Structure 1
Amino acid sequence: MSMDTDTTPGPKAAGFFTEFPEDGVAVVIGGSGGIGAVVCKRLAQCGCDIALTYRSNAGKAREVAASLEALGAQTDTQALNLTDPEAVKRYYSLVAERFGRIHTLIVSTGADIRMDYLFNIGVDEWRDTIINDSVGFFNAVKLVLPHMRAGGGGSIMALSSAAMVRHSPMDILSTGPKGSIESVVRAVAREEGRYQIRANSVGLGAMDTGLMDRVWGHLSEETAKAMRHGTPLGRIGTADEAADAIVFLASNRSAYTTGQRLVLDGGFST
């Protein structure tokens, strides 16, 4: 998916009221991905400065950063392996040193999974998925908390799955790690609320971007058609729709919302 070419200045550039703190930075883990890139754009349009990470696609990350700077945002772009806690700790320290505080963390990553029945999933494949997705998310959240506490609070957003509500066959490599991710979200909501730190998730259904591009490749045309027809709205979601929901929950417009999962699936799980 290519980045939208709209370069309309964000509120900070135009001097408008913003829905995020005017100081500090929003960190987007996986900001070079299909959904992550649009999330970054929405944040820039809200007046945020943005620190985005990528795992391997440096060229796409630089492209995203350039588009954000055209919107008036200051950016920082770094490669980051979430499974290395020391690397994550160093990264947050460098970001906080440059921008002053971390007011928002959005984790827009996931393991590169395939769809198959549990019967066919190997033990090593399961272990790798848990390490990349669950352990990586834990590191990202656990190690940002001291910075958010020091900054007077913050907002954490996770990408989850609508299949946590209605399980789909062959989706265990996606939903398995998401169970632990949502547990971390609820733990932060209950335990860190006294420090004005919120945590929420968006449970995504079938989308037209990101990791779903590869997931669709594992499905037969008949199965993909059935998924669309099984959705009350009769279509799959877009990266723009996902980003709008994610940024809304991350923003001050959701200041009294924490520990929640917003399901974005066109009604599939209803």
Structure 2
Amino acid sequence: MTEPVRTSHRLQLPRDTDPAEVLTMILNVRPTAREDEDGAIEIGDDVRLVPDRTPRGAGRWTLETPRVREDPVPEGMVDSHGYGRAFPEGLPFGVERESLDLAWALARRMYGAVVTDDHVRLEPHPYHVRDLTVTSPHALAPESLAQLLAPLEPEAELDRAPEEISRTGYGLTAPLPGGDVIEVRVGRSARPVALSALEWLGDAVDYQLVHVTADPEEDAIETPDAPTAERWQEAYRRIGVIAGLIAESVGGYVLDLDGLLVDPADLA
């Protein structure tokens, strides 16, 4: 039987990054991951994240994964992760794509970068992902949520009259400069993996906070220009303040779009 082809990519994090924090974040989305006696993290699906133990290797990890590729990105198409640029001969697929996505998310959250097996550097912008979700055991009535957010977002509006809405399945929209908006979408929880041990998760409610840009193609930008980066940062700041207020008011946990937990203290 032919052995599967393997490859490795590098995850470069700040030198002072605590390895325990890396493992904690991975456990948010891969709860069966474990650290072996040498400090390597066994992620699953024959994927490992191995720390560099050399004197100059602080913060550097090697992502060992099966190599699985598909067709390249169509000419002229861009993607936010930079995979089309990094893998012109064929995009990572399956296990390799999932492991790269995880490394990219870790780099985004920890201000790092991914260097591919062909030595292409992918450096996620820290505000590439602005959306947050508050998963809570408590559902606010539409008018209660509107009243809660009014001091922060006085121009926010419910998508329907309160008497026409149940406690889940409604939304609220707040305008941002330049035609962007923040949408607050309230519905039954998607049951994030990071919270799977909670007894109340089956009845939980998600308050999704989504940055909707005026230009839908903006989400595919790999490296934003300065004005775009400023808008992204401001949108994330306002989303973060809303998320923190909801979590403080009704209880629950804040997660980002990659399923990683976010400390509300970091959103103030």
Higher Rg of the two aligned structures = 2
TM-score by length of 2: 0.26
Higher strand share: 2
Higher helix share: 1
TM-score by length of 1: 0.26
